[in-house]
A = this chain, B = another copy of it.
């Protein structure tokens, strides 16, 4: 595809800005919109967005591909409008971190055939156009989740686009994706947020931490506008992951309170063994 293709990017934050930059670098004609006029202006001024769209999104009719790079809730809210604006568009794709509700909304909006949900498993605690970079997706893992009616050609187009950006692609059922992300992405995020809030309550500032502690609280800095809708959308699966995690925290606390050195040592060793990628033991629970 690429050179001279017309691709519209709605939302020019970290994700949308990065895909706009990566596409621009490959000769794509980038149509862009952000409800924050200063971000849109910056993208035009830098020459990354060639055609700014207005809030009515009328210009979408001329785009071959539409990328929605918005929070999960905003993506769902905008889908009917986007559907009504499409022309001969071959692919509509969002970049949200949950996929089940979104692909259902695309199907309900009548554009399931040319829709693919995408989730780049990458990101940053930083957000906005200023944090975007053309290389964000290189070597990143991208999950692609079809709707019930996504056509083979649509999925192939989405795959080729991400491969062009040098990302690794994995096709996954949307519900399975959300279930897995509860453990692989959303749990680590909330674990970091809970550590941040605990330290705040204890009067510890982030600057008082060492390099390890700063790593552990980096995700907590992620944009609440992005993260609250993710957590809300995937609450049931996340609550299950949190329950398993809470049990582990409780167990190690009890081991320390009881002076159970063997249990504490076993816990620390299990974690290090998993980290080292040694053969996994017989699992006591196999939630996934």
**Chain A residues within 8 Å of B, Cβ to Cβ:** 121-123, 125, 140-141, 180, 183-185, 187-213, 215-224, 227-228, 231-232, 235-236, 238-239, 241-246, 248-250, 252-253, 256-257, 259, 261, 264-265, 267-272, 274-277, 280, 283-288
Contact = CB atoms under 8 A, between A and B. Distances in A.
A184 B201 contact: no
A123 B212 contact: yes
B196 A271 contact: yes
B253 A242 contact: yes
Given A188-B213, A264-B228, A265-B228, A275 B125 contact: yes
A204 B243 CA distance: 16
A152 to B, nearest CB: 27
B275 A217 contact: yes
A231 to B, nearest CB: 6
Given A204-B184, A285-B202, A197 B242 contact: no
A208 B184 contact: yes
Given A197-B267, A231-B256, A243-B253, 15 more contacts: A121-B210, A188-B195, A188-B213, A189-B212, A190-B249, A191-B191, A193-B252, A193-B270, A194-B248, A196-B272, A198-B248, A202-B288, A203-B287, A220-B272, A242-B252
A253 B184 CA distance: 17
The 4 nearest A-B residue pairs measured at CB: A221-B275, A193-B271, A196-B271, A121-B210
Contacts of A271: 192-194, 196-197, 200, 220-221
In this complex, which of A231, A261, A268 has the most chain B Cβ atoms within 10 angstroms of its Cβ? A268
16 contacts: A187-B195, A188-B216, A191-B195, A192-B212, A193-B271, A197-B274, A198-B241, A198-B244, A198-B245, A199-B274, A202-B285, A202-B288, A207-B277, A224-B269, A228-B261, A238-B256
B197 A184 contact: no
In this complex, which of A232, A272, A280 has the most chain B Cβ atoms within 10 angstroms of its Cβ? A272
A194 B252 contact: yes
A56 B276 CA distance: 34
Contacts of A267: 193-194, 197
A276 to B, nearest CB: 7
Given A122-B210, A188-B212, A268-B227, A202 B220 contact: no
